[in-house]
Structure 1
Amino acid sequence: MVNLFAWLLAFFINISLIGIILYQLMCLADLESDFINPYDTASRINQVVLPEFFTQGILCVVHLICGHWIIFLVCLPNLYYNVQRYTERRHLMDVTEIFNQISWEKKARFWKLGYTVITIALSMVLMIASIVD
């Protein structure tokens, strides 16, 4: 029963990650469509970057503590990427360079979104397998 609660917690954490990444993508799309100015876009994205990193770290810790080794190893590269961006101080959007970086930032967030969707699909499969056993 505890294992099921751990899988459900991981599922809801993954859903929150998808929400955060979609919010960032919507902000970048609004900037491209000229619905919002660069300063507001950068400030909105910068407000949710650290919560995204923290949520990804919590997800990895939950999988590590519960002994879900396969999904922990799947989540680890994304956590490493986030830690690397944070230590190199490239995690925040720069208002002056936002138009030069917009295509790269959108690609990176689309990759994160795809990676998170694959992670959630794999965790659903593993959750169902653990319930059946």
Structure 2
Amino acid sequence: MVGLLGWLISFFVLIALLVLVVYQLMCLADLEFDHINPYDSATRINQVIIPEYVTQGGLFLIFFLTGHWLLALLCVPYLYYNIKTYMDNRHFVDVTEIFNNLNWEKKKRLFKIGYLVATLFLSLFWLIWSSVEDDELGF
């Protein structure tokens, strides 16, 4: 039952991460189509960068502490990238350079979404597997 609870928590954390990254991508798309000015777009994106990094670090800790080594190992490159950009002070979107870096910023978010969706499917698979396994044991 503890394993099932760990999978449920990781599932909801992954959904939260997806929401944060999709929100950033939507802000960039609004900027591209001139629905929002660069300052507002950069401010909105920068407000969710640190929560995204903390949530992703929490996801790694959940996988690591619950003994799901494969998914914890899959979280390491994303976690390393987040730590590296934070340490190099490149984690925030610059208002003056947002138009020049718009395609790159969108590609980064699309890559993150692809990674998170793949991790979500793996997590969902193991969530269902754990619930069926607990059902067979009579819990």
* Length-normalised TM-score, structure 1: 0.97
1:96 correspondence with 2:112: no
The equivalent of 1:125 in structure 2 is 125
Cα deviation, 1:88-109, whole Å, max 9, x if unaligned, reads 1110010110101110000000
Cα deviation for residue 77 of structure 1 reads 1.0
**Quick one: which amino acid aligns to residue 119 of structure 2?**
T
**Quick one: which amino acid aligns to residue 36 of structure 1?**
I
CA RMSD after TM alignment:
0.8
1:27 correspondence with 2:34: no
The equivalent of 1:76 in structure 2 is 76
Cα deviation, 1:7-59, whole Å, max 9, x if unaligned, reads 00000000000000000000000000101000000000000000000000000
CA distance in 1, matches of 2:117, 2:23: 15
CA distance in 2, matches of 1:111, 1:56: 15
Cα deviation for residue 124 of structure 1 reads 1.2
User: Which sections of structure 1, spanning at least 5 residues, go unmatched?
Assistant: none
Query: Which ranges of 4 or more aligned residues in structure 1 deviate by more than 6 Å?
Result: none
**Quick one: which amino acid aligns to residue 122 of structure 2?**
L
CA distance in 1, matches of 2:97, 2:68: 40
**Quick one: which amino acid aligns to residue 93 of structure 1?**
V
CA distance in 1, matches of 2:14, 2:71: 12
User: Which sections of structure 2, spanning at least 5 residues, go unmatched?
Assistant: 134-139
**Quick one: which amino acid aligns to residue 118 of structure 1?**
A
Number of residue pairs the alignment of both structures matches: 133
Matched position secondary structure for 1:100 = coil
1:44 correspondence with 2:60: no
* Length-normalised TM-score, structure 2: 0.93
The equivalent of 2:137 in structure 1 is none
**Quick one: which amino acid aligns to residue 18 of structure 1?**
L
Bigger Cα Rg: 2
1:116 correspondence with 2:101: no
